[in-house]
Structure 1
């Protein structure tokens, strides 16, 4: 952690503690809370109420965590590193522990549930101090600036996250869901968590190393060749399974049964199962130079048929030629005919 960050961390922590003490002691800060609450900003400017009802969702933990986790998940896949998601998880865990403990420890009621004017409304079973929406906006959007890879992106991310956090905090005051002191303490609580993240970098690095080792152990290992099987010669190029290549460079598909049989391991002497028979393949004939290869095909039985004269031929038809007649077959000599 740099010296500037240490100074900011110490200053923010002191301001956070001062706000808590001011609320506990019912100082003029509590009077300011009541003045703003009785002013009721949502009634003074009702035209902004519908829009700010949606805008305040940017500080709600569930939706913002899903949006930021989706972006950081893509960053994790692109960088092949689990650090972005681990940083987000660490920051949200720290936020829940620190802010949650103060919330339930003080038990302050919100403006809509206040009972005594001028009172700090502490230890009455509430969970409104500090503002969770404000602290969550500082941490969730600030993590994007913290994980930026360039100085320009870091500066832009810091400005945008600060504006979002400030807008969410002021929106909760406008809607009457938080006191002014709630929002001030929420800004400080979120900034303390964000500034403390560099101290947890070694823990994040060890967690990433352990998770990557666990994934490597769970990943299925490569199958080992059986003992006695011939090793593949690296100098011979084997065509893909299910494809044969003839000398002429023409690839022809191989039947699935033959490809599976050829890919089966060679049987050993101790094997009692007979290997399946391999159907011999007729090697394709290499095409002649400049010709077209038509493959090998069989010829069926040839039947005699009458010759057909092409239409329009110049051959003269001799109608006067006598028709040849087949001589009658020679009759066998009668048996027993006297000579």
Structure 2
């Protein structure tokens, strides 16, 4: 007796995925609303406030030095190994590969390039804005500080704002930004917020960033996520252009170009004498038929042999024997034609 295998949870998951071959109709695209504009302005004001507090060597700089002298990596040395691995979640290379693999699978399943194009746009904005701020302000890190109590600005460093923190906010926050349902967006927003918060505090624990670097990194990443709806029209036009380019490439590769035709110049027709009807038909056939080359001897092979039953019966007319003058035709008396001899 044969029994069918009960479907496992993995089988049910793949069966559910097979029912979604096209882009979901309920997939919403965030828009640049008035509420989002207010959040962008508030985040930008907070960004400038942090920069001003660091440039003027205010209480925020003194807090940076106090945290640095506290040396968290020595106070809680038992978790150092875990923090070393956890901080990788903020490195641009590994996180970009992981998130790009997931979004690439989504793009293939939903037949759209929007997830990958949105990730590429966010990473491009991150490199431009954060990179320009890093090299523009040139702040040194805690391990390379020269004067106690100074802000270490303009010393040729590249840690302000924190790239690990900003990258964690953007890379993991893009999953919440591209979520298909409000529930998934809330859950992914909470997970990305906790992840980016942990990455920022991990850099402070390891002593690679000041606390103000982490604060500015959080705001820098949040600004990029809030500004992405303004780039949605550009992303949509890029997607349409990419699909049009693919269709043209497929059409060009599927149709062969016609072979060049060499024009043949016909000779001028000669004036001919008027012909009769049979001669006209013969001349017309000769004009249509291509010119023939010299004839070669043709050796005809014997035709297919047919059996006697397949041949058409033919009734012979007359005698098959050759005529002989000395023979008599049947039915005539022999005495009439036989010569008489004496005796």
TM-score band by shorter chain is 0.5 to 0.7
- Counterpart residue number, 1:181: 212
Residues 53-68 of structure 1: matches in 2 within 5 Å?
53-68=84-99
Q: Secondary structure at the match of 1:76?
A: helix
Choose from 188, 202, 205 the match for 1:171. Answer: 202
Deviation at 1:222, TM superposition (A): 3.8
Q: Is 1:46 aligned to residue 80 of structure 2?
A: no
Choose from 102, 119, 122 the match for 1:91. Answer: 122
Deviation at 1:223, TM superposition (A): 4.7
- Counterpart residue number, 1:139: 170
Q: Is 1:216 aligned to residue 243 of structure 2?
A: no
Deviation at 1:221, TM superposition (A): 4.5
Distance 2:146 2:230 in 1: 42
Choose from 131, 149, 153 the match for 1:100. Answer: 131
Most deviating of 211-220 and 189-198 = 211-220
Residues 173-322 of structure 1: matches in 2 within 5 Å?
173-219=204-250, 220-223=252-255
Alignment deviations for residues 289-339 of structure 1 (CA, whole Å, 9 cap, x no partner): xxxxxxxxxxxxxxxxxxxxxxxxxxxxxxxxxxxxxxxxxxxxxxxxxxx
Distance 1:48 1:161 in 2: 22
Distance 1:214 1:169 in 2: 42
Q: Is 1:114 aligned to residue 124 of structure 2?
A: no
Distance 1:67 1:114 in 2: 34
Root-mean-square deviation (Å): 1.9
In the alignment of these two chains, the number of paired residues is 230
The structure with more helix, counted as a fraction of residues: 2
**Structure with larger Rg:** 2
Q: Is 1:129 aligned to residue 160 of structure 2?
A: yes
Distance 2:87 2:126 in 1: 18
Deviation at 1:8, TM superposition (A): 1.4
- Counterpart residue number, 1:9: 40
Q: What residue ranges of structure 2 are gaps of 5+ in the alignment?
A: 1-31, 259-288, 293-343
Deviation at 1:3, TM superposition (A): 2.4
- Counterpart residue number, 1:291: none
- Counterpart residue number, 1:76: 107
Distance 1:24 1:223 in 2: 64
Q: Secondary structure at the match of 1:177?
A: coil
Distance 1:223 1:162 in 2: 52
- Counterpart residue number, 2:27: none
- Counterpart residue number, 1:24: 55
**TM-score scaled by length of structure 1:** 0.66
Q: What residue ranges of structure 1 are gaps of 5+ in the alignment?
A: 227-268, 273-339
Deviation at 1:132, TM superposition (A): 0.2
Q: Could you list the structure 1 runs, at least 4 aligned residues long, displaced by more than 6 angstroms after superposition.
A: none
Distance 1:41 1:156 in 2: 31
Distance 1:161 1:96 in 2: 19
